[in-house]
Amino acid sequence: MKHIPRKRFGQHFLSDGGIIDAIVSAIAPQPGQPMVEIGPGLAALTQPLVERLGRLTVIELDRDLALRLRLHGQLEVIESDVLKVDFTQLARDMHVARLRVVGNLPYNISTPILFHLLDHVQVIEDQHFMLQKEVIDRMVAAPATADYGRLSVMLQWRYAMENVLFVPPESFDPPPRVDSAVVRMVPWAEPVAVPPALLSELVQVAFSQRRKLLRHTLGRWLEGRGFGGTFDTQRRAEEVPVQEYVALAFSLHQKA
């Protein structure tokens, strides 16, 4: 029976064989590697992955699709909202130190999924995700560009990131109204240790009025925290590199 894509789950199923091959090539799965696929859908990416891996764990929210996937002998199916999956515990359950995570993420909740995985980055080997191209442009953006913002800073603090593949709308059924792309995210081996909540608040304040100089936003926020160090607030938020935001958060954390 043909599966009807469900709007509430943001379902757009990959159907272009050439694009599927290119994505699998970028992921480069090897036999026996512990991999988790988010939102396998109709298994367009799942099948070529499991053929190379031998076994694959998949997370699927749609009950009908999960039922189909359970009929596949090489898949471990977790029927759940991915935002409720504890990836750290999942790695323990699979008896591995790190997981490779892949998926065609639902565009309507892609950013919450990225931040959810950020909480479990210590058990992540790498991540390959297909997302709305506009989101990936923000994820990989360099300072002093229009796309550079909170998402850029928070993710680049913990990952080396690369936009590896453009995916046009006609590669899907049904076609989305936006362009897509595939991003590779590899956790840094030794990131600066700062509380994520502190960095997140700091960056959110900085970009709250991105057209104004930082002295109007972040400067006042720093004064309120009694910050006595040096930080140039005569710049706009988009002009400050990731490393400077992280260093500032580290300095605040050290003095707390």
| Structural contact between residues 14 and 104, judged by C-beta atoms closer than 8 angstroms | yes
Per-residue pLDDT at 130: 94
Mean predicted confidence (pLDDT) in 32-49: 95
pLDDT of residue 7: 44
Helices vs strands, H then E, count in the chain: 10, 9
Strand, helix or coil for residue 213:
strand
Number of residues assigned to the chain: 256
The residue type of 201 is E
Question: Which segment of 12-16, 69-73, 163-167, 211-215 scores lowest on mean pLDDT?
Answer: 12-16
CB 98 within 8 Å of CB 124: yes
* CB-based contact 205:221 (threshold 8 Å): yes
13-26 pLDDT, tens per residue?
888 999 999 999 99
Residues 91-140 pLDDT 10s? 999 999 999 999 998 888 999 999 999 999 999 999 999 999 999 999 99
The binding site for S-adenosyl-L-methionine comprises: 12, 14, 39, 60, 81, 104
Q: Which two tokens stand for residue 231?
A: 């930080």
What local confidence, expressed as pLDDT, does residue 98 receive? 98
pLDDT band at 8 (very low <50, low <70, confident <90, very high): very low
- Top pLDDT among 6 and 162 is at 162
Q: Quick one: pLDDT band at residue 11, thresholds 50, 70, 90? A: low
Please say if the pLDDT value at position 249 is more than 70.
yes
User: In angstroms, rounded to a whole number, what is the distance separating the alpha carbons of residues 18 and 199?
Assistant: 40
Binding residues: 12, 14, 39, 60, 81, 104
Three-state secondary structure of 96-162: CCCEEEEEECCHHHHHHHHHHHHCCHHHEEEEEEEEEHHHHHHHCCCCCCCCCCHHHHHHHHHEEEE
Query: How sure is the predictor about 3, in pLDDT bands with cuts at 50, 70 and 90?
Result: very low
DSSP letter (8 states) at residue 3: P
Distance CA 90, CA 98 (A): 10
Q: What is the full DSSP assignment across 144-207?
A: TSTT-SHHHHHHHHHEEEEEEEEE-GGGEESPPSS-EEEEEEEE-SS-----HHHHHHHHHHHT
What predicted TM-score, i.e. pTM, was given to this entire model? 0.92
CA distance 37 to 43: 10
Which pLDDT belongs to residue 4? 46
Average pLDDT of the residues of the chain: 93
Residue 9: predicted pLDDT: 44
Q: What is the mean pLDDT of residues 44-71?
A: 96
**pLDDT tens, 165-184?**
999 999 998 898 899 999 99
Q: Which domains does the chain have, with CATH numbers?
A: 7-187 (3.40.50.150), 196-255 (1.10.8.100)
How far apart (Å, rounded) are the C-alpha atoms in residues 77 and 131? Answer: 22
